[in-house]
Amino acid sequence: MSLTLATTTPGEPEIFPSLQGEGPSAGRPCVFVRLSRCNLACRWCDTAYTWRFTGDIRPHRDDLTFERSENQITLDVREVAMRILALRPTRLVITGGEPLLQAPALGRLIPMLKEAVPGLEVEIETNGSVPPPHSITQLVDQFNVSPKLSHSGNDESLALVPALLREWAASTKAWFKFVVADEDDVNEVAELQAIYHIPAERLFVMPEGTSSKILRERSKWLAGAALTHGWRFTDRLHIHLYGDTRGT
């Protein structure tokens, strides 16, 4: 069984050590594995190279050039496991693209890794619109669920799936992480919290941005909104540390 991964440079799968930059485990040393392909097409996606391939006809930001599919590589699950284990992980973050599109192969990868590294904790970064198989919800320790608001430019019926949002809200493994670009988005978060009864202690807001300057500007008022609503605030540590750089 194989996985299709993003690449840092052509032919080099994007598997890398870094501090978790976002959410409840921000600051923790992790190994990241970035899978390719996504079912959505966020206008401001900072990893568009994982899904924008020539011929992709979905609505896109027109300022992005089509990335050629050299940005992905397909490897056997065992090869991926070996590359991850070589980095001696204590905590693994599986991201993308949308990693739950490849759930069956993850169902093979994660047990291999947990057997090799007793106590290994696994996080998945997901847009919350792809149903996780039961096997995955059992295997994974933490889901960082980032439902896409209207400013992402996605079709709402694709991005916000009511039955799934209810399940995520009811799961103590799921931590919400809403990307916020301007003050209108704050109202949308408040509406979703009310509709789906998302507990405030599992609700993070995070500024949209891929530079320290923009993140700092947005954080000034977003921190205030988090205080007002009783939500948690997360920054994007890796952007401040490394900029908008693949493999960091």
Ligand X SMILES: C[S@@+](CC[C@H](N)C(=O)[O-])C[C@H]1O[C@@H](n2cnc3c(N)ncnc32)[C@H](O)[C@@H]1O
- As annotated, the binding site for S-adenosyl-L-methionine includes 44-46, 97, 146-148
109: tokens are 């990868």
Site track 140-179 with ligand 2KA (rule: CB under 6 A), x = hit: ----------------------------------------
For residue 4, what are the β-bridge partners? 74
11: tokens are 């032919």
Please name which of 130, 159, 168 lies closest in space to residue 41, comparing C-alpha atoms: 159
Applying CB under 6 A, does 212 fall inside the site for ligand X? Answer: no
9-38: contacts with ligand 2KA (CB under 6 A): 18-22, 32
Cβ at position 158, least distance to ligand SF4 in Å:
10
Cα–Cα distance for residue pair 245/74, rounded to 1 Å = 22
60: tokens are 């896109």
The identity of residue 239, as a single letter, is: I
The residue (of 32 and 168) whose beta carbon lies closer to ligand 2KA is 32
- Contact, 91 vs 105, CB < 8 A? no
Residue 238 interacts with, from ligand 2KA, ligand X, ligand SF4, none (CB under 5-8 Å by kind): ligand 2KA
Number of residues this chain uses to bind ligand SF4 (CB under 6 A):
12
12: tokens are 């080099």
Applying CB under 6 A, does 14 fall inside the site for ligand X? Answer: no
Applying CB under 6 A, does 71 fall inside the site for ligand X? Answer: no
For residue 29, what are the β-bridge partners? 19
Cα–Cα distance for residue pair 186/97, rounded to 1 Å = 25
Applying CB under 6 A, does 84 fall inside the site for ligand SF4? Answer: no
Contact residue for ligand X among 25, 36, 102, 146 (CB under 6 A): 146
Three-state SS at 114 = helix
Residue 126 interacts with, from ligand X, ligand SF4, ligand 2KA, none (CB under 5-8 Å by kind): ligand X
Contact residue for ligand X among 38, 77, 106, 122 (CB under 6 A): 38
Q: Is the dihedral of CA 27, 222, 59, 40 positive or negative?
A: positive
Cα–Cα distance for residue pair 48/246, rounded to 1 Å = 11
Give me the residues that bind ligand 2KA (CB under 6 A), please.
Answer: 18-22, 32, 95, 125, 238, 248
Give the binding site for ligand SF4 (CB under 6 A): 38, 40-42, 45, 47, 50, 96-98, 127, 148
